[in-house]
């Protein structure tokens, strides 16, 4: 029998770890535990980048991205651009369980959720709407009407400072791995933009035979290196989770150098089938993660991989 382990991105991941670790200790499956943990964060309106109360896109629509994966069967499901349903991870799980598909998007994802009995809900909080009015890139002057004025608004830079996905990875008593990734993506993103979080292999990858990995940060850059799948394949080839996470962060840096851009903020977490953990991030990401291991919950700072190291 394995000793349960959970890890989750960011300090707000502690809530997910608290919920998931109780379930794992009670003998629940890794997938049930990590999704319950992620849902606790999705319901928390103080977490402004996940689920209810997170930050909308450029035209004020709040759309959610999520995926789930079961390490025993490699079953997976995902939703992208999901509107008016608060728990994207629960819908992603239904996609996995009730359809022959892996990813549903936009209106189709919403119709599927409604058909599955999810309630149509207001995803915004008053604070979120107010903040959008104040910070909206096309609406700099206070009090000005928030409108998309023309195609030029779509070329304004995205505010990359406000994001942060919750990714939760777990190992259960039966020795199986499970993972979930859920987010509203980059704040004030272009309508229709999808990041790494609902992409199996980018934001999340889980395989009992190799390990589990998840990402947070600028999704475009995580997709560019197939971040989580890259990391899991490193573990399959024998790397420990910590070394694999550091190599993924190095890869992000190397790609940025090659493309002549400043390295983006990206972070990775990983869990081996034996319960070993790893975490690393690129420079200035200040990435923290929450862990439950041998009965103790901690929030730890990840190793930063600076440029050219």
d(CA 21, CA 34) in angstroms, rounded, equals 9
Of 103-111, 148-156, 161-169, 290-298: span binding ligand ASP (CB under 6 A): 161-169
Looking at 15, 20, 80, 186, which residue binds ligand ASP (CB under 6 A)?
Answer: 186
Nearer to ligand ASP, 21 or 184 (CB): 184
89 lies in the site for ligand ASP, by CB under 6 A:
no
Interaction between residue 48 and ligand ASP (CB under 6 A): no
Cβ neighbour number for residue 270 with a 10 Å cutoff: 30
Residue 228 binds ligand ASP, judged by CB under 6 A? no
> What string of DSSP letters covers 28-87?
--HHHHHHHHHHHHHT-TT-TTSSTT----TTS--EEEEEEEETTT--EEEEEEEES-S-
Residue span binding ligand ASP (CB under 6 A) among the ranges 36-44, 178-186, 250-258, 292-300: 178-186
- Dist. CA 6–CA 38, nearest whole Å: 12
Least distance CB 203 / ligand ASP (angstroms)? 6
CB 263 within 8 A of CB 282: yes
Tell me whether residue 24 or residue 82 sits nearer to ligand ASP (CB atom).
Answer: 82
Residue 35 or 50 having the CB closest to ligand ASP? 50
Least distance in Å: CB of 65 to ligand ASP? 6
Q: What is d(CA 102, CA 198) in angstroms, rounded to the nearest whole number?
A: 10
CA pair distance 280, 64, nearest whole angstrom: 25
Q: Which of 178, 219, 241, 263 binds ligand ASP (CB under 6 A)?
A: 219
User: Quick one: CA dihedral 248, 254, 256, 259, positive or negative?
Assistant: negative
Positions marked active-site: 165
Work out whether 165 is an interface residue with ligand ASP (CB under 6 A).
Answer: yes
Residue among 42, 70, 172, 196 that touches ligand ASP (CB under 6 A): 196
Q: Does 28 bind ligand ASP (CB under 6 A)?
A: no
If the CB atoms of residues 198 and 273 are measured against ligand ASP, the closer one turns out to be 198
CA–CA gap between residue 96 and residue 68 (Å, rounded): 8
Buried b (16+ CB within 10 A) or exposed e, 75-100: ebbbbbbbbbbbbbbbbbbbbbeeee
φ and ψ at residue 22, rounded to 5 degrees: -65, -45
Q: What are phi and psi of 170, to 5 degrees?
A: -140, 150
What does 95-112 look like in DSSP terms, one character per residue? HHHHSS-SEEEHHHHHHH
**What's the closest the beta carbon of residue 286 comes to ligand ASP, in angstroms?**
12
Residue of 42, 164, 172, 207 that binds ligand ASP (CB under 6 A): 164
Q: Which of 39, 72, 216, 228 binds ligand ASP (CB under 6 A)?
A: 216
Contact 239, 247 (CB under 8 A): yes
56 binds ligand ASP (CB under 6 A): no
Name the DSSP class of 200.
Answer: B
Q: Which CB sits closer to ligand ASP, 138 or 216? A: 216
Q: Which stretch binds ligand ASP (CB under 6 A): 35-43, 210-218, 224-232, 279-287?
A: 210-218
Residue 195 binds ligand ASP (CB under 6 A): yes
Contacts with ligand ASP by CB under 6 A lie at 163-165, 183, 185-186, 195-197, 216-219
């Amino acid at each position: 029998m394995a000793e349960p382990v959970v890890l989750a991105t960011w300090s707000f991941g502690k809530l997910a770890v608290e919920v998931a670790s109780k379930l794992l200790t009670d003998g629940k499956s890794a997938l049930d535990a990590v999704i319950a943990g992620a849902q606790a964060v999705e319901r928390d309106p103080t977490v402004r980048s996940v689920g209810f109360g997170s930050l909308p896109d450029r035209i004020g629509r709040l759309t959610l991205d999520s995926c789930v994966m079961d390490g025993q069967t490699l079953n997976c499901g995902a939703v992208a651009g999901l509107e008016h349903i608060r728990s994207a991870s629960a819908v992603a799980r239904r996609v996995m369980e009730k359809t022959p598909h892996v990813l549903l998007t936009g209106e189709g994802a919403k119709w599927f959720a409604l058909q599955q009995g999810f309630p149509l809900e207001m995803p915004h909080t008053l604070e979120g709407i107010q903040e959008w009015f104040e910070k909206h890139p096309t609406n700099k002057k206070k009090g000005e009407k928030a409108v998309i004025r023309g195609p030029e608004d779509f070329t304004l830079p995205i505010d990359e400072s406000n994001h942060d996905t919750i990714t939760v990875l777990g190992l259960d008593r039966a020795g199986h791995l499970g993972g979930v990734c859920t987010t509203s993506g980059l704040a004030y993103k272009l309508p229709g933009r999808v990041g790494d979080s609902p992409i199996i292999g980018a934001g999340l990858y889980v395989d009992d035979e190799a390990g589990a990995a998840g990402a947070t940060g600028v999704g475009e850059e995580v997709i560019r290196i197939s971040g989580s799948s890259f990391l899991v394949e490193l573990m399959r080839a024998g790397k420990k989770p910590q070394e694999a996470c550091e190599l993924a962060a190095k890869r992000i840096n190397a790609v940025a150098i090659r493309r002549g851009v400043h390295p983006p903020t990206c972070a990775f977490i990983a869990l081996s089938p034996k319960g070993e953990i790893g975490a690393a991030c690129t420079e200035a990401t200040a990435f923290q993660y929450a862990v439950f291991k041998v009965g103790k919950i901690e929030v730890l700072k990840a190793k930063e991989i600076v440029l050219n190291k």
